[in-house]
Amino acid sequence: MWGANLRAILNRKTWDTLRRNCYMLAGNVCEVCGETGRNGRVECHEKWEFDDTHSVQRLAGLLCLCPVCHQVKHIGRAISVAKESAVDLLRILRKLREVNGWDDGQVADHIEAAFKQFNIRSQREWTLDVSWLAANEHMMK
């Protein structure tokens, strides 16, 4: 399911075990940039693969990331909350540029492509059932 996450599917203990093993296998550093957040903080990112032909979202593995690289992976969310934290967004964009060796144009192209893909996949995945409205029409009068 689009937007699915393991934390919601698994119980807390299982999820904690899973993510701690992910951190250990990565040597407790970010698998993208080799750094950590404050106090050695790392986070667990779920890698999903998308079969756009059959609308299948498949878990492909876990990635140990520093908090900033994790935010890069969720750039859309980072941008949507950027109104309150422009400094964080700048940090995220700088990281995206650095770890990929991109210039600003490539960063912009990547974000634009990611948003396009997100929009296309969101359209396909969300099927609305509004039968309740028909069954409760009296409540709308």
Applying CB under 5 A, the residues found at the interface with Zn ion are 30, 32-33, 66, 69
Comparing C-alpha atoms, which of 2, 45, 44, 52 is closest to residue 23?
Answer: 44
Q: Which is nearer to Zn ion, 69 or 75 (CB)?
A: 69
Least distance CB 95 / Zn ion (angstroms):
7
Q: Which is nearer to Zn ion, 77 or 124 (CB)?
A: 77
How does DSSP classify residue 62? E
CA distance 60 to 63: 10
Q: Which is nearer to Zn ion, 32 or 44 (CB)?
A: 32
Tokens of 68: 């900033």
Least distance CB 129 / Zn ion (angstroms):
40
CA distance 44 to 47: 10
Least distance CB 97 / Zn ion (angstroms):
13
